[in-house]
Structure 1
Amino acid sequence: MPDRPEIVCICGSTRFVTEMRAANRDLTFAGVIVVAPGEADEVVTDEQKAALDALHLRKIDLADRVLVVNPGGYVGESTRREIAYAEATGTPVEFTDPV
C-alpha cells in the first residue's frame, strides 16, 4: 500500500470545464488526489492569466501524472505548454482522447 494516494493534475482547455469536472469526480471517487485548473466566473486579465498559468505548472510539480482532458483530440496552446513542461520534468502524461 502506498504512503499516500496518487496525485493527478488535470490539464485542458477551459472550454472543457464540464469534462474536467467529470474527470475530477471520477478520479476522486477512485481514491486519487486531484489538482485542477482554477476556475473564474468573470473575465480574467492578462496578468491574472499569467499568474494562473505559472501556478498550474507548480501543480504539475506536485503530481505523479498529468491527465489531459482533450475531447475530440483538441489541445490548445496553454495545454501544449503544460504538456511540454510535464514531459521535461519527467511527469507522465495521459490523454482522455487520442491526439
Structure 2
Amino acid sequence: MPDRPEIVCICGSIRFVDEMRTANRDLTLAGAIVVAPGVFLRAEDPEANELITNEQKTALGALHLRKIDLADRVLVVNPGGYIGESTSREIAYARATGKPISFTDPA
C-alpha cells in the first residue's frame, strides 16, 4: 500500500469543463489527489478577454506543466477523441517526462 494517494493531473480542452469536473469528482471519490486547470474561461466567453491577459494565459499554461510534474499520471479528458493544441502540448510534455497517460475517449 502506497504511503500517499495517487496524484492525477487532468488535461483537456476547457470546452469540456463539465466532463473535467466529473472526472475530478470521480477520481477524488476513488481516493486520488487531483490537480486540474484552475481557470475555466474559454476564448469565446465574452468576459474572457476582460478577465485574463495573454501573459496570464501563458503563465497558466506553464503552471499546468508544473502540475504534470507533480502527478503520478495524466488523465486526458477528450470526449469524441478531441485533442486541441494546448492539450497536445501537455501530452507531449507528459510523454517526455515519462508520465503514464490515459484518455477518457481512446477514439
How would you bin the TM-score normalised by the shorter chain? over 0.9
Aligned pairs for 1:38-77 (under 5 A) are: 38-40=38-40, 42-43=47-48, 44-77=52-85
Q: Percent identity?
A: 80
1:1-99 alignment to 2 at 5 Å? 1-40=1-40, 42-43=47-48, 44-99=52-107
Larger radius of gyration: 2
CA positional deviation for 1:60 = 0.1
TM-score (norm 1): 0.96
Gaps of 5+ in 2: 42-46
Task: Say what the alpha-carbon RMSD is for the aligned residues.
Answer: 1.0
Contact 2:11 2:75 in 1 (8 A): yes
How many pairs are equivalent?
99
**1:41-91 C-alpha deviation (Å, 9 max, x unpaired):** 541221111000000000000000000000000000000000000000000
- Measure how far apart 1:40 and its partner are: 4.5
**Could you tell me the TM-score, scaled by structure 2's length?**
0.89
SS in 2 for 1:91: coil
Provide the rounded CA distance (Å) in 2 between the counterparts of 1:50 and 1:81: 13
Structure 2 contact 14–40 (Cα < 8 Å) conserved: no
